[in-house]
Amino acid sequence: MEDTRLLPAIAEGDETAFVRLFEKYKAKVYFAAQKLLKSDSNSKDVLQEVFTTIWLNRASLHEIENFNAYLHTMVRNNIYSRLRKKKAEGKIISMMQENSVDSDTGTEEALKLRDLQASISMAAQQLTPQQKHVYHLSRTAGFTHDEIAAQLKISKETVKKHIMAANKVIQAYLRDQSFLLVIFLCVSNYSPHLTDHPDHSVPSNEIPIDYKYVN
């Protein structure tokens, strides 16, 4: 379905149309993040935050004339924000575009996303100590399953089981959070494959990142 039909429907609260939009663009967003962040969990966080923002601000979709450009801006700024954070933490060295998005434009979205993250943090408090540790290493620290297994001296399968169990607890906690749960489920259950990459289907669909601003 064309974006020109999906966006007005989503603006009116059509959840089915939103899921179709997510399915259409999830690989594009994920692989754009993965290309720079080199982390499955961080890339999924970008995917979740971007589509959460789109849903929370769905009423404004009536005003979007070029969704590709709109999505590109959201993904780019989210990725650069994460790179800046890593730079501040001394983990990597990166540079931000001089003409970045105006700081005031994302205030409301940031507050809404903060509320969602707060809900997830509250849900995480219900995890067992081991689940909480594994979940933190995966989603917050960005370690791979192999790295977590090596660090905690447990099997990769055990790591996966802990993360699956943690996701179930968080999903149950967020069940009353309306459609935000659907977004969380979609991202959590997304298993990227190279065949999903835009380079393997429609190259022009990939979000371009200006590498001269990222060292």
Specify the higher pLDDT residue, 71 or 198.
Answer: 71
Average pLDDT, the chain: 79
Question: Considering the domain boundaries, does residue 191 fall inside one?
Answer: yes
Can you give the pLDDT at residue 73? Answer: 93
Task: Decide if 175 is inside a domain.
Answer: yes
Mean pLDDT, residues 68-77? 93
| Token reading at 214 | 């990222």
User: Does 215 map to a domain?
Assistant: no
- Concatenating the DSSP letter of every residue in 173-208 gives HGGGSTTHHHHHHHHHT----GGGSGGGS-GGGSPP
The winner for highest mean pLDDT among 1-10, 93-102, 186-195 is: 1-10
H or E stretch at 94: none
Count of other CB atoms within 10 angstroms of residue 157: 10
In a domain, 83, yes or no: yes
* Mean pLDDT computed over 31-46: 89
pLDDT at 110 over 80: no
Q: How far is CA 9 from the centre of its chain?
A: 23
Does a structural domain hold residue 14? yes
The model's pLDDT over 174-195, given as tens digits with 9 standing for 90+, comes to 765 657 767 877 788 787 876 6
Report the CATH number at residue 204.
1.10.10.10
The domain in which residue 39 lies consists of 3-210
142 close to 42: Cβ distance less than 8 angstroms: yes
Residue 112 binned pLDDT confidence (cut-offs 50, 70, 90): low
State how far the Cα of 201 lies from the Cα of 19, in Å rounded to an integer: 20
Report field, pTM of the whole predicted structure over 0.85: no
* Number of separate domains in the chain: 1
What mean pLDDT comes out for the span 42-59? 90
Write the single-letter amino acid at 134.
V
Higher per-residue confidence, 116 vs 201: 116
Question: Is residue 60 assigned to a domain?
Answer: yes
Q: Which two tokens stand for residue 199?
A: 């380079």
